[in-house]
Structure 1
Amino acid sequence: MKPLTWAIIGPGAIAHQFAAAQGALGRQIYAVGARNRQKGEAFAQRYGIERVFDDIPQLLADPQVEAVYIATPHASHFSWMKQALEQGKHLLVEKAITVSSDELNEINRLAAEKQLIVAEAMTLFHMPLFRQLKQLLDSGRLGKLKMIQVSFGTLKEDDPTNRFFNPELAGGALLDIGTYALSFARFFLSEQPDQLFTTVSKFSTGVDEQCGILLQNSHNEMATISLAFRAKMPKRGIVACEKGFITVDDFPRAQQAQLSWTDGSTETIRAGETDRALQYEILALEEYAANGTNPLHYLTNDVVALMTAIRQRWGIRFPFES
């Protein structure tokens, strides 16, 4: 499979990890786009990138670019994605891929029209461990799936001006860390939940600071999710079935899980490497582009639909949303 020619939009912290992952694969990124040219040039020099653009539309118009990694804050994703697709580029986009289903539906229509691939850089969707765990559930060895529990809490600085709490930048725990927790739950649920219950505590700026979410689907599979932006909690996912349960700690990039059987016996399941998380995403996007389809995109659609419904229940709407 021939590697694609990649460009990056937004040379922030996660983009450094992406560039390092490309280097570990023996690749050289072609271009980086940054509104701050000095920052873009420093990034390019560090990673041996050939071209620097401070005009992002000019980068997207470059015929050499085949795939674009978008690493800007998620409030800006929709605009860059739309422009990139119109210029014929495949897309790998950081979380949350869009802030609403309306945005994502428009992106999906455009990608289908242009016959291009869009993928969310949701690490757990591409980690080998999760594929192995899903195979285990599908085998029936654990019996029927009953309950999923997910917690994710982080202690963000109590500062209304930073992006985490800024409604102009689509701040709040749901779109920043909740997308991981919901993706974990949806990955293992056999179908999209059709029942949703939730409660929220809002920060002073009006975005969500912490919440509880309860989901249920027609198979009576349930998921409970706890999120917090001002309290540290473990990044832990538990998948409970009739004959045992799986515990995945630090789940977004996990390389191992604990399997606990109802008789008290345990075993450790290992697959993949945490340090290669972004490499798996790069290779997946290139595979999807070669095959002309992204088989996991329905998960992204479902998670964004859940986040959209949850925000509607909370009455949280960002100033830029029409």
Structure 2
Amino acid sequence: MKYNWGIIGTGWIAHEMGDALKNVNGEIYAVCDANLAGAQKYAAEYDVKHAYGSFDELLEDSQIDIVYIATPHNFHYDMMKKALEKNKHVFCEKAITVNDRQLEECVAIAKEKNLIISDGVTLLHMPLYKKLKEIIGSGKLGRVKMVQVNFGSCKEYDVTNRFFSKELAGGALLDIGVYATSFARFFMSSKANVVLTTANFFETGVDESSGIILKNGDGEMAVMALTMRAKQPKRGVVSCEEGYIEVNEYPRAASATITYTSDGHQEVVEVGESKKALEYEIQDMEDYISNQSGEENLQYIRDVMATLTSVRNQWGMVYPFE
């Protein structure tokens, strides 16, 4: 079945998604921007059929099936809620909301209306991860015991940048921590019931760097290191009883290395293509709608947001608009 997508926002990620939508579906139905000229420029670039100057105007278009939200974090909740109330499926950029209360409210609306919600955490849609889950499920690596995952991005010092703005829900946790937490949750058998954390804060009050330890009831742990003011390799390690899996550049990874601890031999697993990350997101989203599925994906998203909320509660960090 063919689905009509409406894009909200015209920033760099909306352009990347525009390329992916053209590759998968051959066309984009609609785009909107608070500045109509911005929407019209995007529409001309991607041959989009309809350009709107307001979100509400786009939502009134009955031909739109899926709304893609590509705005700063602080707008996600209101936009997602409005879209769901207008009976649109929603694919929202990460972080899907700023706290679990917002997300659970939207999930309840979606379930009541039989609608699908998903988000732009690429790794949850990469074919590699589905293959790695199969390998772990086979039992040949034994049980998962420990996950280690890093993400460090050295953002230029600029107190006016959105990454450091409390008003725009800035900080490392929601920008890059959502990837690390998603990686950890994907390989853990269940949601963490113990969350320990500490952080250093930027002068604007957002989290600059943090350490997070997770533990669940299945005896699995995860250790995460995040920072926005120093480069770290995007590296995830899943340690099992009989071997460990290393994934570099893990948000859009297409390969992983397994080391078997009995004799040290290695196996390289290659599945998918990094450059098609957003295409996989689109294909999964459309499959969820066609097959009324995606419950496992949504549960990961909910568990991740619950963990991120617990972390921020421990820090005592509240955004002004919450």
Q: What range is the shorter-chain TM-score in?
A: over 0.9
- Point out the more displaced range, 140-149 or 25-34: 25-34
SS of the equivalent of 1:161 reads: coil
Q: How do residues 276-287 of structure 1 correspond to structure 2 at under 5 angstroms?
A: 276-287=276-287
C-alpha distance in 2, partners of 1:259/1:135? Answer: 13
Which residue is equivalent to 2:101? 102
Cα-to-partner distance string for 1:267-298 (whole Å, 9 max, x where unaligned): 11000111111111111111111122322100
Higher mean C-alpha deviation, range 177-186 or range 113-122: 113-122
The Cα RMSD (Å) is: 0.8
1:270 corresponding residue in structure 2:
270
Deviations 1:171-198 (A, max 9, x none): 1000000000000000000011111111
Could you say what secondary structure the match of 1:8 adopts? Answer: strand
- 1:47 and 2:9 equivalent? no
Amino acid at match of 2:152: G
| C-alpha separation in 2, matches of 1:242 and 1:109 | 39
1:302 Cα deviation after fit: 0.2
Instruction: Show CA shifts across 1:120-170 (max 9, x none).
Output: 121111110000001111111001111100000001111111110100000
Tell me if structure 1 keeps the 8 A contact 2:166–2:320.
Answer: yes
Cα distance in 1 for residues equivalent to 2:300 and 2:2? 25
Q: Helix, strand or coil: the match of 2:140?
A: coil
* Aligned residue identity for 1:148: V
2:65 corresponds to which residue?
66
Partner Cα distance (1:293, 1:244) in 2: 32
Q: Which runs of 5+ in 2 are unaligned?
A: none
Residue 27 of structure 1 and its aligned partner are, at CA, apart by 2.0
Counterpart for residue 111 of structure 1: 110
TM-score by length of 2: 0.98
Aligned residue number for residue 311 of structure 1: 312
Structure 2 CA distance for aligned equivalents of residues 184 and 3 of structure 1: 31
CA distance in 2: counterparts of 1:243 and 1:3, whole angstroms: 45
**Deviant stretches of 4+, over 6 Å:** none
Q: Distance in 1 between matches of 2:54 and 2:69?
A: 15
Deviation at 1:26, TM superposition (A): 4.1
Conserved? CA contact 2:214–2:221, under 8 Å: yes
One-letter amino acid matched to 1:302: D
The equivalences for 1:125-136 within 5 A come to 125-136=124-135
8 Å contact from structure 2 (residues 127, 271) kept in 1? yes
- What secondary structure is seen at the aligned counterpart in 2 of 1:302? helix
How far off is 1:47 after superposition?
A: 0.5
**Percent identity at matched positions?**
47
Question: Which deviates further from its counterpart, 154-163 or 300-309?
Answer: 154-163
Distance in 2 (CA, whole Å) between partners of 1:216 and 1:87 is: 39
Give the equivalent residue in structure 2 for 1:292.
292
| Structure 1 residue 113 displacement after superposition | 1.4
CA distance in 1, matches of 2:76, 2:25: 28
Question: SS at 1:219's partner residue?
Answer: coil
TM-score by length of 1: 0.98
Aligned residues: 320
Correspondence for 2:248: 249
SS state at 2:300 partner: helix
Q: Equivalents in 2 of 1:143, 1:284: separation in Å?
A: 29
Counterparts of 2:25 and 2:69 in 1: how far apart (Å)? 21
| Deviation digits for residues 38-81 of structure 1 (CA, Å, limit 9, x no counterpart) | 22111111100011111110101100101011010111000110
Match of 2:228 in 1: 229
Q: Which is worse superposed, 252-261 or 291-300?
A: 291-300
| CA deviation after TM superposition for structure 1 residue 264, in Å | 1.2
SS of equivalent to 1:102 = helix
Q: What secondary structure sits across from 2:231 in the alignment?
A: strand
Structure 1 counterpart of 2:122, one-letter code: T
Distance 1:100 1:3 in 2: 33
Q: Which residue of 1 aligns with 2:195?
A: 196
Q: Deviations over 1:75-103 (max 9, x none)?
A: 10001101101111011110000000110
Question: Where do 1:135-214 residues align within 5 Å?
Answer: 135-214=134-213
Aligned mates of 1:27, 1:91 — CA distance in 2: 20
Q: Which amino acid aligns with 1:105?
A: E
**Residue 279 of structure 1 aligns to which amino acid in structure 2?**
E
Q: Secondary structure at the match of 2:81?
A: helix
What amino acid maps onto 1:264 in structure 2?
A: G
The whole-number CA distance in structure 2 between the counterparts of 1:117 and 1:144 is 32
Residues 190-213 of structure 1, C-alpha deviations (whole Å, 9 max, x = no match): 011111111100000111000000
Q: CA offset at residue 3 of structure 1?
A: 2.1
Q: Distance in 1 between matches of 2:217 and 2:181?
A: 17
Tell me how far apart the structure 1 counterparts of residues 231 and 249 of structure 2 sit (CA, whole Å). Answer: 13
Kept in 1, the 8 Å contact 2:36–2:54? The answer is: no
